[in-house]
């Protein structure tokens, strides 16, 4: 096996991966700087295989974005609007309930609701939304509201994040998605999202959710102004929290799409396939205490997502149906992928498709 790595300059790291040892910051940086994508991918595949064998998970889920009005207006985001902007919207509770009811009986097991920081929306709007979605879709897991939204609700309502989470949990919230993490480095945040909560606060809200027994996800938005060192630092900070709480389910790298954002420049396009595969592989290798590395096909396209199954990925998210955040930023992918297509992609990669719920309970295999 080690022969495969001959002349890659990465033989020592490969040996550590083979032995199941933890990689450090320096290892991560060398992997990220290496041009030997196949060597990096093979290491990640070894780590994936050890945890998951031939199984690849997918989920039948739906996204709802309840408002695009946002006080933060991050420079990488094409979704957020001011209240008076063309295209600004906020769904009424009846509209959200209508969407949830329309998904009834269609086999979905997860609903993913995230939106902007809209100062007009009281905490009651969120509580009522959860109650109505819970009623419309009994048994469906509600994975909703990023740590950024939880922090905002805490601040505007004079509450702690723990208190907001407890109120929302009571109303039906099961789990938090991984959005809003971006890159934890304050240097990066000052440049691309100066109004957003710090990396420490993002981690603190997830730690609070884990303390209440909620499982959550984590992301990293890569391919804008961050350095390779800052990407590795992001992984290490997530790994440290996971060591303490074990509350993260999955990590999802998010490829930056520049179109219609304040970071767009002539000639600038989104990440390359090479970068996408390397980030997914690095996630698998650095986040040794995360079970699941998820490729969000919406961001990187179904074909790279399928290939990523040989680069450390064990989960393809999901059927989705309607997606606004990346499509506003120029994503050219579809907004939905039928189950049959996800299953076909997984089988064509020689793997066993496994439908899961949010908590990775198995719903069907094969």
Rule CB under 6 A: which of 249-308 touch ligand V47? 252, 254, 256-257, 261, 296
B/e letters for 344-361, b = 16+ CB within 10 Å, e = fewer, are ebbeebebebbbbbbebe
Q: Please, which residues bridge with residue 61 across strands?
A: 110
177 binding ligand V47? (CB under 6 A): yes
Q: Which is nearer to ligand V47, 125 or 297 (CB)?
A: 297
| 109 versus 217: smaller Cβ distance to ligand V47 | 217
77 contributes a contact to ligand V47 by CB under 6 A: yes
- How far apart (Å, rounded) are the C-alpha atoms in residues 230 and 188? 8
Nearer to ligand V47, 38 or 191 (CB): 191
Query: Which one, of 202, 188, 189, 219, lies nearest residue 298 by Cα?
Result: 219
Minimum CB separation from ligand V47 for residue 18, in Å?
Answer: 30
Nearest to ligand V47 of 46, 270 (CB atom): 270
d(CA 243, CA 234): 14
Residues 197-256 that bind ligand V47 (CB under 6 A): 217, 219, 221, 252, 254, 256
CB of 148 to ligand V47, least distance (A): 7
Of 17 and 249, the one with the shorter C-beta distance to ligand V47 is 249
Neighbours of 114 (CB within 10 A): 22
Q: Does 144 participate in binding ligand V47 (rule CB under 6 A)?
A: no
Applying CB under 6 A, the site for ligand V47 has a residue count of: 22
116, 172, 179, 199: which one contacts ligand V47 (CB under 6 A)? 179
Residue burial 244-281, b: 16+ Cβ < 10 Å; e: rest: ebebbbbbbbbbbbbbebebbeeeeebbeeebbbbbbb
321 binds ligand V47 (CB under 6 A): no
Residues 268/258, Cβ–Cβ less than 8 Å? yes
Largest CA distance in the chain: 61
Q: Is 76 in the site for ligand V47 (CB under 6 A)?
A: yes
Which region among 5-13, 15-23, 70-78, 285-293 touches ligand V47 (by CB under 6 A)? Answer: 70-78
Helices (H), 75-215: 93-102, 123-136, 147-156, 161-171, 186-192, 199-211
**What is d(CA 40, CA 10) in angstroms, rounded to the nearest whole number?**
8
Whose Cβ is closer to ligand V47: residue 5's or residue 296's?
Answer: 296
Looking at the Cβ atoms of 67 and 217, the one nearer to ligand V47 is 217
Binding-site ranges for ligand V47 (CB under 6 A)? 76-78, 146, 177-180, 182, 217, 219, 221, 252, 254, 256-257, 261, 296, 317, 325-326, 329
């Amino acid at each position: 096996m080690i022969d495969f790595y001959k002349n890659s300059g990465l033989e020592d790291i490969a040996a550590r991966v083979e032995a199941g040892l933890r990689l450090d910051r320096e290892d991560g940086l060398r992997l990220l700087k290496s041009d030997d994508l196949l060597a990096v991918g093979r290491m990640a595949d070894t780590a994936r295989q050890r945890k998951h064998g031939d199984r690849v998970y997918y989920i039948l889920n739906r996204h709802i974005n309840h408002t695009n009005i946002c006080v933060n207006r991050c420079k990488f985001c094409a979704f957020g609007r001011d209240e008076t902007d063309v295209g600004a919207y906020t769904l009424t509770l009846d509209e959200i309930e209508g969407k949830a009811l329309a998904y009834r009986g269609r086999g979905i097991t997860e609903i993913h609701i995230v939106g902007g920081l809209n100062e007009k929306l009281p905490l009651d709007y969120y509580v009522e939304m959860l109650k109505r979605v819970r009623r419309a879709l009994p048994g469906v897991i509600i994975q909703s509201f990023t740590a950024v939204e939880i922090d905002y609700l805490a601040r505007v309502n004079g509450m702690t994040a723990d208190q907001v989470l407890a109120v929302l949990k009571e109303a039906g919230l099961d789990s938090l998605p991984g959005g809003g993490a971006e890159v934890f480095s304050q240097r990066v945040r000052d440049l691309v999202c100066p109004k957003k909560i710090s990396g420490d606060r993002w981690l603190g809200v997830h730690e609070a959710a884990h303390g209440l027994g909620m499982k959550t996800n984590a992301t990293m938005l890569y391919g804008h102004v961050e350095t390779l060192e800052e990407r590795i630092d992001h992984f290490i900070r997530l790994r440290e929290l996971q060591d303490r709480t074990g509350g993260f389910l999955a990590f999802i790298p998010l490829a930056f799409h520049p179109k219609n954002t304040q970071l767009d420049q002539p000639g600038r396009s989104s990440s390359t396939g090479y970068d996408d595969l390397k980030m997914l592989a690095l996630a698998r290798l650095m986040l040794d205490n995360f079970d699941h590395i998820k490729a969000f096909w919406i961001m990187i396209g179904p074909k790279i997502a399928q290939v990523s199954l040989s680069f450390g990925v064990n989960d393809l998210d999901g059927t989705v149906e309607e997606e606004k955040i990346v499509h506003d930023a120029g994503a050219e992918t579809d907004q939905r992928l039928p189950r049959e297509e996800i299953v076909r992609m997984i089988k064509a990669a020689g793997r066993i498709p496994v439908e899961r719920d949010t908590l990775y309970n198995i719903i069907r295999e094969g």
